[in-house]
Amino acid sequence: VHVAASSKDAEFARVPRDDEAEWSEAPAYVHFTSNNTIFGTEFAAPPRTPEGPFLACDASSDIFSRPIEVERYGLVYAGAQKNLGPAGLTVVIVRDDLLEPPVRELPTMLRYRTHAEQKSMYNTPPVFGVYVMGRVLRWMLAQGGLAEMARRNEEKAAALYAVLDRGEFYRPFAHPDSRSRMNVTFTTPSPELDALFVQEAAARGLDGLKGHRSVGGMRASIYNAFPRAGCDALAQFMTDFEKKHG
C-alpha cells in the first residue's frame, strides 16, 4: 500500500487536498473512505486521481446520504449498518471490467465475480437484512430519492454547525471544508464540561453523544434515519447548555 495523501499532521481534522497527493508510479487503484465517523470529516467530492487507476470508495457511513456520480468510481462498497439497514450485509457497486479473473488467487467467496454471476445468491443471503434494506430503499424513493436525502441531511447538519459557529464556547473539530454531514464532532472548553454535556444531554433524552474514545469530546451521528426534529432538539440543548455553563 502506498499512502498518497494523509492529514495526520492536522490530526485528521480535515480530508487531504487534491494538491497534496503524491501518487506512486503506476497505481492499480486509488482507495478512499468518503466519510470518517470518528473525526467527523467527509469528502465533499471524490479526490482527483491520475488517469489509469480506478477509484475505490468505502462509502459505509455516507452511502445514499446524497447522490454520487457513480460513473467516476470503479468500486463502491458500503456496510449497510449506517444508512441502509441492519448490520450484516454490504452493498457493492462494481464496474463490469473489474469482475474479470483476479490478478492473484482469491478464495471463491472473496471474488466479486462469484457474487455477480450468482446474482448475490451464491451463499444463503442474510434474508432479513436484505428485506429491511429493501423497505428502506423504497422509503427513500417515496421521500423523493437521494436528492431529497441530501437536502435533509444538509439541513440537519447545518442546524448543528450553526450553533458550533455562533460563539467561542463550542469548538467544532473538523475544518469547515471537510465537515461531515453524518457525524458532527465538537468539544466544549474543557473535558469536565464535555463529560457534563454528555450527562445532561442524556438526562434530556439525547443519547449516544460521547465522542469516540480516540478523540474524546462529543459526536452527534445523524445518519439518514435520524430525524430533523432530533437535530433541532440537540441544537436547543446546546444553546441552553452554553447559557448555563458558558
Of 52, 67, 88, 246, the one binding a second copy by CB under 8 A: 88
> CA 135, CA 157: separation in Å to the nearest integer?
25
Burial per residue of 42-70, b for 16 or more beta-carbon CB atoms within 10 angstroms, e otherwise: bbeebbebeeebbbbbbbbbbbbbbebee
Q: With binding defined as CB under 8 A, does residue 103 bind a second copy?
A: no
Residues 201-230 that bind a second copy (CB under 8 A): none
How many residues at the interface with a second copy, by CB under 8 A?
A: 15
Q: Build a one-symbol-per-residue string for 121-140: x at contacts with a second copy by CB under 8 A, - elsewhere.
A: ---xxxxxx-----------
Least distance (Å) between residue 213 CB and a second copy: 15
E strands, the chain, in order: 29-33, 35-36, 41-42, 54-58, 75-79, 90-94, 171-172, 183-187, 218-221
> CA 178, CA 17: separation in Å to the nearest integer?
10
Q: With binding defined as CB under 8 A, does residue 79 bind a second copy?
A: yes
C-beta closer to a second copy: residue 34 or 37: 37
Q: With binding defined as CB under 8 A, does residue 111 bind a second copy?
A: no
Least distance (Å) between residue 237 CB and a second copy: 28
Q: With binding defined as CB under 8 A, does residue 87 bind a second copy?
A: yes
> CA 80, CA 59: separation in Å to the nearest integer?
10
Q: With binding defined as CB under 8 A, does residue 31 bind a second copy?
A: no
> CA 193, CA 219: separation in Å to the nearest integer?
14
Binding residues for a second copy (CB under 8 A): 79, 81, 86-89, 106-107, 110, 124-129
